[in-house]
Amino acid sequence: MQTYKTREEVPVQEKWNLDDIYSEIHKWEEDLNTIEQLSNELKKFDGAIQSGQELFQFLRKQEELSYKFNHVFPYAMLKVDEDTRKTESQTLLDRARNLSVKVSSNTSFFMPFLLGLDEETLKGYIAEEKGLEYFEKDLFESFRYKEHVLTKEQEEILSQLGEALSAPSTTFGMINNADIKFGEVTNKEGEKVELTRGMYSKLIEDEDREKRKEAYKAYYQPYLQMKNSIASTLSAAVKNNVTTSKIRRYPSALEKSLFGDMVPKEVYENLIKATKENIAPLHRYTELRKEILELNELRQYDMSVPLVSGVKQDISFDEAYETMLKALAPLGEDYVETLNQFKSSRYFDVRETPGKRSGAYNLGVYGVHPYILLNHQDDLDSLFTLVHECGHGVHSKLSSQYQPQISARYSIFVAEVASTVNEVLLIHYLLDQEKDEKLKRYLLNHFIDKFRGTFFTQVMFAEFEMLTHEKAEQGQPLNVEVFNQIYESLFKEYNGDALVFDEEVKYGWSRIPHFYRPFYVYKYATGFASAIHIATKLLEGDAQTLESYLEFLKSGSSDYPLELLKKTGVDLTSPEPIKNTLSKFAELVEEFAGL
């Protein structure tokens, strides 16, 4: 695998092209100034909206500001993520963040004003000003928030606290991406080298158990050293969320998170309940793992090593891309052609380099195109990551293409559907193509592990979030001991008794960035369940599902997420999709055990 010491060494074709947003920095500066100007103009509407025409002028200006801000902020963020150590990029992002707080403060009067109107007055404004029809659905959607919006003065104070309230998340981000130095591991030459995240993802799958153990201990070392600092940031994030939920008069922080998507609390609770009722196949798989690895004691650093050895595949980025295009053929020629364009137009940042943000993501920039960050390691996992992020990318691209700005951004609730449909299609393609029994077993094992990570682990995380928020709501303390106790008992409950726990296991909570974006992870699991249903139908050649699914990808947020999914044949208000997903997992485990 090619490794790079600097970003400059990476071939141009494997670096994203940010010139598509701003070809010169002075254009970024111009937009930043325009946003500030528009923000000041918007403030003048405070107390001055007396007619449909004035309401329309305010909303049109606000949308213009939003369009520009959705170029200024992503550009700065993408620059930072190329190399988190560069202060000039951090400065751009800080300026964009500060401006965001100012905009939020200058427009904070609008929600209280809007919700102070009675419905008849608003309808009168819309009848009087034709341009308002474009905003009508959004305006009435805002009425749902009536009881959760504060007075004008209170809203202004809250918006000014925006930066302070997001500080725990920002602090954890800096600790996790810029400051953390992992312990040392032994390389092939027998020399001690500092562990990187990319190396860890390789070493934790190494067939040599001592190497896995060494990497595991080195990886957790800084988290254990900084456990109190990280516990303090996580505790503050949870408490901030609980406090703002109370201020906004929501029954709980969980219900505040679900409100925007119109998801009933029962969907969240049923997900956890149904998973725990059907957890036996996961325990069976853990025992199978111990048996196949022939271990007296199964430990956490044994949970990622492939159970079929000697089939490590080297897959270059170009090969991975070709495989993806073939695997996604069931989605039709247009879909595949869209993906061809992604590569030739440099939507990707492919390689791991020092200081680059870890992990992978897709970021859609409305009016430009999606940007996809990867840290490609030339292996099977990287192929899956590529296919996953391209699912998000095409979803962003099609929603932007077919929806106006106001409804182009899809809800996070449905975000994981497109990515996971792609992964399911990929695994089926790979299994169908494979003639070698050993490789087939390897792929099946890979899919089971993927299932465990994307579904069961996320449900466990979701329960951890629910329990920690409940403690904060009851005024109970949140600290290292509390987080450890909750995390360890959940880990045992989900993974079964076959595991022997190292000291590090209970600190798993300390390295999860998603916990700073409350009640987000359950959407991976509901998305996974929805995707299993859709992909199964696509593989059966169901033309109706293909048509409704492609429509879904073009829908953005033109309807509530549960309604959009119902159109593809998935009803998450019933336990069926979850139960079907869990029975699919049980089948996979039995098939693997049979092999």
Active site residues: 389
CB 172, CB 230: distance < 8 Å? yes
| Type of residue found at 145 | Y
Q: Report the relative pairing of strands 361-364 and 370-373 from DSSP bridges.
A: antiparallel
CB 462, CB 268: distance < 8 Å? yes
DSSP letters, 36-81, are HHHHHHHHTTTT---SHHHHHHHHHHHHHHHHHHHHHHHHHHHHHH
Residues with Cβ < 8 Å from 60, sequence gap 6 or more? Answer: 131
The span from the CA of 446 to the CA of 306, in Å, is: 7
Distance of CA 591 to the CA centre of its chain: 31
Residues with Cβ < 8 Å from 481, sequence gap 6 or more? Answer: none
Query: Does an H or E element contain 361, and which?
Result: strand 361-364
The span from the CA of 289 to the CA of 593, in Å, is: 10
Residues with Cβ < 8 Å from 413, sequence gap 6 or more? Answer: 261, 263, 523, 526, 527, 561, 562
The span from the CA of 469 to the CA of 47, in Å, is: 38
51, 117, 155, 245, 252 from 111: Cα distances, Å? 16, 10, 9, 17, 22
Q: Which two tokens stand for residue 405?
A: 């700005």
The span from the CA of 491 to the CA of 486, in Å, is: 9
3-class SS of residue 349: strand
CB 124, CB 52: distance < 8 Å? yes
